[in-house]
Amino acid sequence: MSLPLDGMAAIVTGAGRGLGRAEALELAGLGASVVVNDYGQPGRDGSGEASATPAEEVAEEIRAAGGRAVAHVGDVSDHQQAGALVQLAVDTYGKLDVLVNNAGILRDRMIFSMTEDEWDSVIRVHLRGHFNTTHFAAAHWRARAKESGGPVHGRIVNTSSEAFLAGSAGQPNYAAAKGGIVGLTTSTALALARYGVTANAICPRARTRMTEDVFAGFEVPEDGRLDALAPEHVAPLVGYLASPAAAKVNGQLLVVHGGMVAIVERPRVAAKFDSAKETFTFDELDELISPYYEDRPPNETFAAAEVLGLKRG
């Protein structure tokens, strides 16, 4: 009996730990050969010998379970290293079928306290990192489709966040990057659909090394039940979106955590106002728009804070 991703090659970025690790293991369990990416150099063990990087440890975990995996320790925010990552998949497995963009960092601070470097570093790793790998994967799929004369199997799963949807006061850099990733995803989905490629974004909620402070107040079950914030709740959705079964799922945003998946609808036009003459005057705008917001709760903005209350059941 064949597995859903048999014969496919996948890349998972930021896969040395946490969410990316769970996603890499899931894809491998579904039959994919995996390139495990995570930025980092080997450390030293007690004897002074070089120790394996997190990416190498996950790749070995996959191989020990009977799967195929290689490690890549490059920085996806570097354009050339991202290109080398995609090329590694092609050189090792003959092609690339699935790209899961997960790599990211946090530099949390209020907007009035944030430094330029804290802003730039988060935008670079999240948003630029997503672009870099997507650029090279898209070029690969376009070339394959032109060579074959028909569509290919290409899947992109990008990682956004509820911080973008709900608005996170202490994460302006992170929320901006994650919002940008949604824009990148919908643009990519439209651009690559003709080649058989889909691009979707997920907003996962998971307890990882990166988010341990964010979820410090959420208790971990001590009775053997799976933590509601375990990355293992997210990984199956990534496996599904990577598969042929999800061929008609494209340009979508899905929230996932704790045994729940919610599909987020695109924005809708709530109201429309027309000028009496060729263009608006200040007084006319005041007369039309101010009453519309007169009774609006002060914290009700474009942000969809209600997503934070979603849960299974």
Q: What is the pLDDT of residues 90-134, one digit of tens each?
A: 999 999 999 999 999 999 999 999 999 999 999 999 999 999 999
Contact 207, 229 (CB under 8 A): yes
User: Within its chain, how far is the Cα of 107 from the centroid?
Assistant: 17
Contact 31, 239 (CB under 8 A): no
pLDDT at position 26, please?
98
Pairwise pLDDT comparison (152 vs 211), residue with the higher score: 152
Residue found by looking up tokens 């080398």 in the block: 84
Looking at the chain, which runs of residues are DSSP E strands? 9-12, 33-37, 69-72, 98-101, 154-159, 197-204, 253-257, 260-264
The tokens of 119 are what?
């802003």
Residue 293 among the catalytic residues: no
Q: Positive or negative CA dihedral for 296, 302, 306, 308?
A: negative
Residue 174 among the catalytic residues: yes
pLDDT at position 46, please?
56
* Distances in whole angstroms, Cα of residue 240 to Cα of each of 131, 155, 233, 255: 22, 10, 13, 14
Whether 149 shows a pLDDT value over 60: the answer reads yes
Residue 93 among the catalytic residues: no
Give helix then strand counts, H and E, for the chain.
Answer: 9, 8
Catalytic annotation, pick one of 33, 168, 178, 243: 178
Residue found by looking up tokens 């890549």 in the block: 72
- Quote the pTM value: 0.91
Whether 64 shows a pLDDT value over 90: the answer reads yes
Catalytic annotation, pick one of 161, 168, 195, 243: 161
